[in-house]
Structure 1
Amino acid sequence: MHLRPKIKFQLFLVLGITLFWITSGAFMAFYKCVNYIPGKDEFEFIVPNQLSFSAFLLINIIGPAVGGFIGGSILVFKLSDQLRGKSYWNYMLVNFLFFLGFILILNTLVPYIFYYRDEIAAADEPLKTAIDLLLLSPYAIRNVITWLIIAWFTIQGLKIYEKYAPTTIIAMLLGRFHRPHEVDRIFMFLDLSYSTSIAEKLGHIRFFSLLKDFFGDMTDPILNSQGEIYQYVGDEIVISWASRKSVIEGLQPIKCFYRIEKSIQERRDYYLQNYDLVPVFKAAIHKGPVVVGEMGAIKREIVYSGDILNTTSRLMEQCSVFNQKLIISNEILEGIPIERRKDYCLKHLGELALRGKSSKCHLYGVNQLTN
């Protein structure tokens, strides 16, 4: 079964959350077994509820595994998308209430099933005993508070994870950006057209809201095209891909542009209602070697540097000159098999002289053919 890149990205997040919760549950199992004995002035390893440690560890993993998978799925597939446009405190409040309810259910069911079922059933007042043991006991309260802290780290980790692509985070953890090195990348520079006049019409606050909606509506098309958001520069967004054969031959950067266009058109009524306009944009795609590494001492960033970035920016400027929505370079075109070009009209626009170089870059306008 073929999964869209966005779904793979989300499943990767759910898997990460689940593993984090399982690890936290295992750590808590060890922690609960370490007890300080004041009379002996030493620590002893005592497994609660007269269980073997393996059984106790398994019980403490089952709940987090179920909770991490179900809770993580709801958080990633539902809450994150629905709350993306909300304020930070709204986002945090909804997530807090969701995890509070979810954790209370798990911390009630798991102890009841594995620890207190017989004791509650044999009590004179089963309901009161259940509330005392499962909700009001120091053990239960400590458990809920601990898992709320873990949930908070989960939410914050998710926000950090969304800032970088999965491959970027893994590379950072492995130290691959510690020293600068050369890589081959594809870049798309995409710019909102008529931004100056739009900003004057809407004012700074509404124009910022427009950009936020505009860039937000690109998220799914970019993920579904295997792209990574490199940076936002004013009314411009820079998208990047690894120069893999499958990416170029699959026309993912070009498809990304038209998926973004489709996404904006599907929200046409929203933009007209809120801003009295529908965003129009232009873009350029180019590829080549760049140097990548961490930059800065305080606010460290992953930075790409090279002539390719400057050239791509200049290619985008030619969109206005040649009245084109999308321009690609000959480096991109050469990687696309002849048979894969049939869905697009490719028009040679001329050459662009590159600063400080004798070679020139050939420009091609791209238009999607309608069936």
Structure 2
Amino acid sequence: MGFRPLWFVLVAPALGALAGLLYGALFDVGPLTGAAIRGAIIGTPIMLYERRLLVPALRERIRGLATPLFLLATVALYVALIVAGNALASTVLNRLFRFMYSERNAMLMTDTGLLYALAISAVVVFVFRVRDLIGPGVFANLLIGRYHRPISEERIFLFLDVTGSTRFADQHGDRAAQAYLGQVFNALALPVSRARGSIDDYIGDLALVTWTVERGIRDAACLRCVFDFEARLAAEAESWRNRFGQVPEFRAALHCGPVVTAEIGLERHKIAYFGDTVNTTARLEALSKTLGVHVLVSADLLDKIGPLPADLITEDLGAHTLRGREAPLAVAAIRRRASGGISAA
């Protein structure tokens, strides 16, 4: 999981260089080598920003804005990065590669160059906004048409329920509750992304997260996601209390199994999962409340994950009969060794 940021740090300059080469070929601005270097220097910060590798806190704040404000703020930031990147590129080309750019013109950028960079940036902003709205995994799969025809696959599902949200709504009203849940799910996005999962849907105060089995079991990523989210809430506890008067609490249930995955809908496309696995995960979430367990995992998933990381502890809770299933399902509670469990209302 730590390899991905390093991989993108290497790929980002190459993508920027390609944009620079396209600009050089279209507008004949001089040697293509110079155009590629300029594109790499200008494009790299923008792409690192979009991948949460540059000023991630600022990015999260901007992502939380309404779409019109998000577009304005993002384009303004891109303009600043483009102008600064162009100045740096001109200086590098002049001093290191002896391209004939004067020091006086290092900070200048042609109208054509600025418009081209803004056009590329606008496309990037739009694509990433759509990606955010429907989810990175869903966006990629819709783009390549992976599930245009239904396929059978094994997946991991996480049902994460924000506890106490009904009581919060009774005390503060529905608008405040919506803002509260919105911030909770915003906080969940980064742990899910780091764990290479995909938030498939929000159902009231519950988030449905999914992984392919291969991604979810690697380094126990699906479990790490839950405890990384817990750690983030704890680290930001003071901010939550100042804004909402309480720190969010949650229950989580995880299970895996076969599903049929398909792209459905005409005007509004969606990737949907069909099969007993999703229903069983929902039943496990209800069982976690009955048992008073904060992170409940099926034995089927634990068998696939294998030995857990040293900081996670398993407590066998035996087999339980779930509504809609003939055979009982063995389950276990998971908690973090050092910090204890997640408190729930």
Is the pair's TM-score, using the shorter chain for normalization, greater than 0.5? yes
Aligned to 1:40: none
Aligned to 1:295: 264
Q: Do structure 1's residue 59 and structure 2's residue 29 form an aligned pair?
A: no
**In 2 relative to 1, CA 146–165 (structure 1 residues): closer, same or farther, beyond 3 Å?**
same
- 2:172 is matched with which residue: 202, 214, 225? 202
Paired residues in the alignment total 329
Aligned to 2:63: 84
Length-normalised TM-score, structure 1: 0.77
- Matching of residues 280-291 of structure 1 within 5 Å: 280-291=249-260
> What is the identity, as a one-letter code, of the residue corresponding to 2:33?
L
- Is the CA contact (8 Å cut-off) linking 1:349 and 1:365 kept in structure 2? no
- Is the CA contact (8 Å cut-off) linking 2:283 and 2:323 kept in structure 1? no
- 2:149 is matched with which residue: 163, 169, 179? 179
Aligned to 1:258: 227
**In 2 relative to 1, CA 174–225 (structure 1 residues): closer, same or farther, beyond 3 Å?**
closer
**In 2 relative to 1, CA 73–188 (structure 1 residues): closer, same or farther, beyond 3 Å?**
same
Aligned to 1:93: 72
DSSP 3-state at the match of 1:358: coil
Counterpart Cα distance in 1 of 2:173 and 2:121:
39
- Matching of residues 6-21 of structure 1 within 5 Å: 7=5, 12=8, 18-21=13-16
Deviations 1:151-192 (A, max 9, x none): 111222233344567665554444321111011011110001
DSSP 3-state at the match of 1:277: coil
> What is the identity, as a one-letter code, of the residue corresponding to 1:23?
L
Counterpart Cα distance in 2 of 1:134 and 1:369:
57
- 1:224 is matched with which residue: 151, 171, 194? 194
Length-normalised TM-score, structure 2: 0.82
| C-alpha RMSD of the superposition | 3.2
- Is the CA contact (8 Å cut-off) linking 1:227 and 1:239 kept in structure 2? yes
Counterpart Cα distance in 2 of 1:257 and 1:64:
39
DSSP 3-state at the match of 1:289: strand
Counterpart Cα distance in 2 of 1:84 and 1:365:
34
**In 2 relative to 1, CA 360–66 (structure 1 residues): closer, same or farther, beyond 3 Å?**
same
- Matching of residues 1-371 of structure 1 within 5 Å: 3=2, 7=5, 12=8, 18-33=13-28, 56-75=31-50, 76=52, 77-78=54-55, 79-107=58-86, 110=90, 113=94, 114-115=99-100, 117=102, 134=108, 140-163=110-133, 169-244=139-214, 247-248=216-217, 250-337=219-306, 343-355=312-324, 357-370=325-338
Counterpart Cα distance in 1 of 2:255 and 2:12:
36
For structure 2, list consecutive stretches of 5 or more residues without a partner in the other structure. 340-345
- Is the CA contact (8 Å cut-off) linking 2:142 and 2:263 kept in structure 1? no
Aligned to 2:343: none
Counterpart Cα distance in 2 of 1:342 and 1:102:
41
Max Rg structure = 1
Counterpart Cα distance in 2 of 1:277 and 1:134:
50
- Is the CA contact (8 Å cut-off) linking 2:299 and 2:329 kept in structure 1? yes
**In 2 relative to 1, CA 99–332 (structure 1 residues): closer, same or farther, beyond 3 Å?**
closer
Once the two structures are TM-superposed, the CA of residue 249 in structure 1 deviates from its matched residue by: 6.7
Counterpart Cα distance in 1 of 2:3 and 2:158:
21
DSSP 3-state at the match of 2:63: coil
- Is the CA contact (8 Å cut-off) linking 1:349 and 1:363 kept in structure 2? yes
Among all aligned residue pairs of Structure 1 and Structure 2, give the percentage whose two residues are the same amino acid.
22
**In 2 relative to 1, CA 287–115 (structure 1 residues): closer, same or farther, beyond 3 Å?**
same
> What is the identity, as a one-letter code, of the residue corresponding to 1:22?
A
